Amino acid sequence: MASLVEFDRIEKKICEIFHVLELTDFQRKAIKSSMNGKDVLVVSKTGSGKSLIVEEVHAIDNRTKDAVVIVILPLLSIMVEQVEKLVGLGFAATYIGKDHAEDKAILSGQFDFVYGSPEELAGNGKWRDMMLAIRSRISFIVVDEVHTVVNWGESQGTEEPFRAWFSHIGELRSLCPGTPLMAGTATASVEKRKKIMDSLYMSVLTTDVLVDSPDRPNIKLSVKCVKATHDLQDTFWWIVKHLSDTMPHYVIFCKTIKDCSLLYNTLKPKDNETTGLVQMYHSKTLHSIKDEIRTTLSNESGKVRLLVCTNAAGMGVNFAAVNNVINYGPPQDMDTFIQQIGRAGRDGTQAQHLLVYHKHQMKNLEKPMLAYVKNTEHCRRENLVESYGCKNNSKPVGHLCCNVCNEECDCGMEDCTELFNIELINMPPSDTFEEEEETTFRRSTEKQSDQLQDLLQQYQKQLSTDSSGRLLANETVHGFLEQLVAQIVA
C-alpha cells in the first residue's frame, strides 16, 4: 500500500508537471489504485480530466528513471494531440509511424511515452518484440477509448469486426506479465465494462473500477413516442415553424444515413441553398462541408441552426453552441445515447434533450436502452444513471429534470413549464403549415448548369461508395437520386 506521505509527494509532482492546482477526487482515486499496483478501469465523461489520469501514470512510477508508458489508442488524431501536449510538457513522447527514423529509438526504449494503434502494437511482430525486449521498463500499459475494444474488435451480428486487432490487445499483457494496465473510456454500461475487462484480462480481484456518474445536470431529458400515422413533416413541424437565423441551434441525431437524408430533405426550407440554415452531416458528407459545419456549430452566431446527422458527428465535432439535441429514434446502445445527449449544453448553460421515436424504431435495442425508452413513470435521469450502476446525490428541480418529473413539479417558479413543448409533437400541424407553393429561382448560364451537374454527380458517386470501395444503391443509402440532381440543375 502506498503511504499517505508518498501519495502527497506524487500528487504534488503531478500538479507541478501538468500545471494544475489540485487533482479531483476521481483523479486521486485512480492514482491511488495505480500506486497500489492495481489495474484500473476509468469510466468518466469527456472533459472530466480523464486524459490527465492517463498521462500522469508516468509520474507515479518511481522504480526507474527510464520507465516507458505504452499507450494504445484507436485514432491517429488523438495520438498526435496527446503526443504534442506531452512533448510540450518536456516528456520524450512519440507515436509509432510518426517518423521511421525514430523506430530504432523506440525499439530501444528511449521514450517516456510510446503511442500506437492495436494494429501496430498487437498486430505487428516488430512492435510485439519491442515490448518483449523492454518489458522490465514498461511501467504501465494504457488503453484509452477502451469501448472500442468491444465496439470495433468484436463482430456485430454477421458482419466482420470493424478493426479486429482491438480484440487482441489483451495478448500484449502476456508479453509483460505483472505490468499494471489502465483503461479509460467516457461511457461504458455495466455490461460493456464486463466485456472490456474480460477482453483485457483484468481480473475482478485486482482491478479497481472507477465510474463517474454519466449525469449532465444541465440537460433536461424528455421522450416522446410518435403515432405511426405521423410522417416526418408532422413530427418535426414545430421546429420548421421557428426556423430562422436567430433560432437556437438544434442537432438531430438519426440512426441511419437514409433517415438522415430523408429528414434533411423534409426539414430544409426551399431557399436553404442561399440561407444554409439546415445542414446534413454523416460519414459520406464532403470534407469541406464537414469543416464548415464544425466551425458554425462552435460559434453562437454560426449560420447553421439545425443539423441533421448520424453518429458520425458524435466523434470529433465540438458542439460548443448547441443547447438542443434530439434523437430521431434511439441508438442501439446506451453508451452511444449518452454521448449523443452529452453534445448539448457543453458550455454548462441549461440545455435539453428529446428522444422522438416511432415504435418500429425499437428493434434490436440493448436492454438498458430499451428500458429508457419504455419508461414513462420513473425519473429519466435516475433511470439513466442507475443503468451505469451509479447513484445521484442530487438532481435538478422537476421541470428542469425530465418530462416525468416535469409533470409532477409544483415548485411554483415562474418558468415551471415544458422546455420542449412535447405535447405539440403528436398534434397535427393544422392548416397553419400548409404553406404556399412559392419557389424562388436563380438564373444560371448553361455552362454553370453543366458544371453543377458534374459536381452533383461526383458527389452522388462519392455517397454511393462505402469505405471498402463497394458501390451501394442510391435510394437505400442516401436518397440522393438522379431525379434530385435533375431537379436541382433544372
Residue ranges in 181-220 that form contacts with Zn ion under rule CB under 5 A: none
Minimum Å gap between C-beta 189 and Zn ion is 20
350 binds Zn ion per the rule CB under 5 A = no
Minimum Å gap between C-beta 440 and Zn ion is 44
Cα 117 from Cα 79, distance rounded (Å): 9
Sole window of 83-91, 298-306, 397-405, 459-467 interacting with Zn ion (rule: CB under 5 A)? 397-405
Sole window of 41-49, 186-194, 394-402, 449-457 interacting with Zn ion (rule: CB under 5 A)? 394-402
Minimum Å gap between C-beta 224 and Zn ion is 15
Residue ranges in 361-380 that form contacts with Zn ion under rule CB under 5 A: 379
Q: Which is nearer to Zn ion, 46 or 417 (by Cβ)?
A: 417
Minimum Å gap between C-beta 125 and Zn ion is 53
Q: Which is nearer to Zn ion, 71 or 404 (by Cβ)?
A: 404
Q: Which is nearer to Zn ion, 229 or 393 (by Cβ)?
A: 393
Residue of 192, 268, 381, 478 interacting with Zn ion (CB under 5 A): 381
Query: What is the size of the binding site for Zn ion (CB under 5 A)?
Result: 9
Minimum Å gap between C-beta 428 and Zn ion is 29
Residue ranges in 400-459 that form contacts with Zn ion under rule CB under 5 A: 401-402, 405, 409, 411, 416
Cβ–Cβ under 8 Å, residues 105 and 154: no
Sole window of 262-270, 297-305, 352-360, 398-406 interacting with Zn ion (rule: CB under 5 A)? 398-406
Q: Which is nearer to Zn ion, 183 or 223 (by Cβ)?
A: 223
Minimum Å gap between C-beta 397 and Zn ion is 5
Minimum Å gap between C-beta 324 and Zn ion is 18
Q: Which is nearer to Zn ion, 411 or 486 (by Cβ)?
A: 411
Cell 511501467 locates to 139
Question: Which residues sit at the interface with Zn ion, rule CB under 5 A?
Answer: 379, 381, 399, 401-402, 405, 409, 411, 416
